[in-house]
């Protein structure tokens, strides 16, 4: 895409283009994104997770919903995402509402994970205190023995879809004269575009 991405009217198309560029240019995890949530005291939490799908309906990630992020997403139904593609000097910020994906969607994605990752989803009581590394490895071995063949999806493991209300695109410019464009969802489901000062 030309440098003048600011002429684009569809943020979903623009994101797909930038994500494709990142898949070519980024040496590791072009789908890595920071996920921001808030706890019951109003304190923010931020961590890196992986984008596992996106379309016009939103951006999808999967996790243990008994983890800190899972509990916070279920409690508040809002979150923010940040993609930073350093090699491209670009970032995308997204804010919006969050809903769980369907069990069928979660089953479908879980089936594509490696066996080790499937076992890990059962073994890890994510975000909770852990006695030792040996205790975690013993849990993994226990589930490995329990499921010698196909491994079902744990009931506490599912996905979330963030439906964006805002998507902001940022591209580095000389002398800090960066390009920034903010898309806000309108009441009719369309998008309003605003160019921002860097």
Determine how β-strand 157-171 pairs with β-strand 53-55.
unpaired
On the 0-12 / 13-18 / 19+ scale of CB atoms within 10 A, 124 is middle
The rounded distance, in Å, linking the Cα atoms of 33 and 81 is 6
Considering 71, 133, 161, 176, which one is annotated as catalytic?
Answer: 176
Cα Rg of the chain, angstroms: 19
Active site (annotated) includes residue 153: no
Alpha-carbon span 192 to 198, nearest angstrom = 19
Q: Which residues are catalytic?
A: 176
């Amino acid at each position: 895409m030309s440098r003048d991405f600011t002429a684009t009217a569809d943020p979903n198309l623009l994101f797909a283009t930038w994500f494709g560029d990142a898949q070519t240019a980024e040496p590791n995890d072009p789908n890595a994104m920071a996920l921001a949530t808030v706890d019951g005291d109003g304190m923010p939490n931020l961590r890196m997770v992986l984008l596992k799908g996106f379309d016009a309906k939103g951006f999808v990630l999967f996790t243990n919903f008994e983890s800190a992020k899972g509990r916070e997403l279920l409690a508040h139904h809002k979150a923010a995402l940040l993609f930073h593609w350093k090699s491209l000097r670009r970032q995308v910020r997204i804010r919006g509402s969050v809903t769980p994906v369907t069990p069928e969607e979660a089953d479908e994605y879980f089936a594509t994970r490696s066996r080790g990752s499937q076992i890990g989803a059962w073994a890890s009581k994510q975000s909770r205190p852990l006695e030792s590394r040996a205790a975690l490895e013993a849990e993994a071995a226990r589930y490995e023995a329990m499921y010698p063949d196909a491994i079902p999806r744990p009931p506490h493991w599912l996905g979330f879809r963030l439906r964006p209300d805002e998507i902001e695109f940022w591209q580095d410019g000389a002398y800090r004269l960066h390009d920034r464009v903010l898309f806000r969802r309108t009441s009719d489901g369309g998008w309003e575009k605003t160019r921002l000062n860097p």
